[in-house]
Amino acid sequence: MLTTYRIDETYDWNFRHGPSYDGPFPTVPETPRKDFLGIPVNARLGIAAGLLLNSRWIETYARLGFDILTYKTVRSVHRECYGLPNWVFIDRDDQVDPHKLNEVQHGRQDFRGDFTAATSSVSFGMPSKAPAEWMPDVARAREALHPGQALIVSVVASPQPGSDVSFMIEDYGLLAAMAREAGAQAVEANLSCPNVCTAEGDVFLDADLSGKVARSMRNNAGDLPVLLKLGHFADETTLASVLQAVEGSATAVVMVNGISRRVVGADESPVFGQGRELSGILGRGIHAFSLDNVKAAMAVIARDKLSLKVVAVGGVSTVADAADYFDAGATAVMMGSAPSFDPTLAVRFKQAHPEW
C-alpha cells in the first residue's frame, strides 16, 4: 500500500524526503468561509499533530485542501526519534475496548486491507529539531498556506531528570511564545503522549497541573487561541475536573490522542522493542470510544456552561466518521493517520459537505 509517510524508512528519511506524494493534486472545491476559533477557514477539517513533520509536508497537504494544519509537536530542545519500527498496523477490525486496559494488541508492518478500516500504532517518542531549526521552518509553513487556512503549532515540555513541575509549566509557556513568534496562528500543548513514559506523557490526567499549563500557555500566547491535546479519559469525573481547570485559559481541547496499549509482534515480544512496550493506537479501532469521550466532554461543557470548544480527532477516514463528530458538536474535525493512506480525503469531504 502506498502511504505518504514511508513506514519502512526512518523518521529522518521521511523528514528529509517526504511526503512521498507528487500528485495528482485534485481541484479543491471552493467552500464558504467559516470560523475556527476566530480564524477564517475554508473548512473546519484538518490534520492533527503528527503527520506534518515540517513545512514541506504542510505545503503538500495545504495544496490538497486540508485547511487546519498542525505542525508536529516541537520542543525547546533537540530530541532524537526512536529507531525503526515507528508505525505498525494492528491486526484487528473491531473497536479497542476502553475497559480492557491490559489487552495486548498484535502489530505488523504490512497491511493489505481497505485503508478506511486500518487501525495502526505509532511510537516516535516526540522527536524535535532544536528551536533554531524549527522556528524558521514554522515561518516557511505559514507562507505555504493558502487563503482560508490556519497553522497550529503543537508543543511539548521537556522535563529534565530531577526538575520539578514548575520547570515543565515554564517550558510550555516559553514554547507558546516561541511558536507565536515563529508564525503560529494557534498554539497547542500536547498534554498526552501514549508512547512517552516520562512526566510530559500524561499531564492531562492531572487537573491542577493541566490548569497551570493552560495558564502558562495563555500568558505567553498573546491573543492566539490556546489548544490542549488530551488523551482518553476512562472516567468522566476526571474529564470534568480537567475541563473545569482549563476553562478561561484554553480556547479549545483536542480530543482524543491515540489510546495507549501494549503492542506485540508475532513472537509476542514488544513490536517496537524493549522499553517501548506502550504505544498509541490510532484509526478505525479507536473511533467509537474517541467519539464517546467527545460526547462526554460536550455534555460537561453544556452542563457547566463552559466556553471551551472541542476539536475532535480519532478514527476519521470516511465522511460518516467526520459527520459523527460534527453531529456531536465538535468545532472542527482532524485526522491523524488516514491522510497518509489517502491524501484526497479533504477534497472528498468538501465535495460531500461544503458546509463543513
Ligand X SMILES: Cc1cc2nc3c(=O)[nH]c(=O)nc-3n(C[C@H](O)[C@H](O)[C@H](O)COP(=O)(O)O)c2cc1C
Site size toward ligand X, by CB under 6 A: 26
Q: Pick from 49, 138, 300, 332 the residue near ligand X by CB under 6 A.
A: 49
**Measured distance between the N- and C-terminal CA atoms of the chain, rounded to whole angstroms:** 29
Does position 190 interact with ligand X (CB under 6 A)? The reply is: yes
- As a whole number of Å, the CA-based R_g of the chain is 18
252: β partners: 227, 309
Q: Which one, 303 or 326, has the nearer CB to ligand X?
A: 326
Does position 58 interact with ligand X (CB under 6 A)? The reply is: no
Does position 286 interact with ligand X (CB under 6 A)? The reply is: yes
Does position 310 interact with ligand X (CB under 6 A)? The reply is: no
Stretch that binds ligand X, among 43-51, 56-64, 97-105, 145-153 (CB under 6 A): 43-51
Does position 51 interact with ligand X (CB under 6 A)? The reply is: yes
x-marked contacts with ligand X along 64-83 as a string, rule CB under 6 A: --------xx----------
Q: Which one, 301 or 333, has the nearer CB to ligand X?
A: 333
Stretch that binds ligand X, among 100-108, 157-165, 201-209, 278-286 (CB under 6 A): 278-286
Q: Using CA atoms of 262, 268, 269, 270 in order, give the dihedral in degrees to the nearest 10.
A: -20
261: β partners: 279
Stretch that binds ligand X, among 130-138, 161-169, 176-184, 307-315 (CB under 6 A): 307-315
CA 240 to chain centre: 21
Q: Smallest gap, in angstroms, from Cβ of residue 63 to ligand X?
A: 19
**Residue pair 197/278 in contact by the 8 Å Cβ criterion:** yes
x-marked contacts with ligand X along 223-252 as a string, rule CB under 6 A: ------x-----------------------
Handedness of CA 337, 343, 344, 349 (dihedral sign): positive
Nearest C-alpha neighbor of 348 from the set 45, 143, 140: 45
Q: Which one, 211 or 280, has the nearer CB to ligand X?
A: 280
Give the C-alpha separation, 23 to 44, whole Å.
23
What phi and psi values does residue 117 have, to the nearest 5 degrees?
-100, 5
Q: Smallest gap, in angstroms, from Cβ of residue 27 to ligand X?
A: 25
x-marked contacts with ligand X along 142-181 as a string, rule CB under 6 A: ------------x---------------------------
Give the C-alpha separation, 136 to 95, whole Å.
41
Does position 201 interact with ligand X (CB under 6 A)? The reply is: no
List all residues 6 or more positions away from 201 whose beta carbon is below 8 Å from its beta carbon: 192, 193, 194, 195
Q: Which one, 304 or 327, has the nearer CB to ligand X?
A: 327
Does position 333 interact with ligand X (CB under 6 A)? The reply is: no
**Residue pair 52/71 in contact by the 8 Å Cβ criterion:** yes
Q: Smallest gap, in angstroms, from Cβ of residue 147 to ligand X?
A: 25
> Could you list the residues that contact ligand X (CB under 6 A)?
5, 48-51, 72-73, 122, 124, 126, 154, 190, 229, 257-258, 282-283, 286, 313-316, 335-338
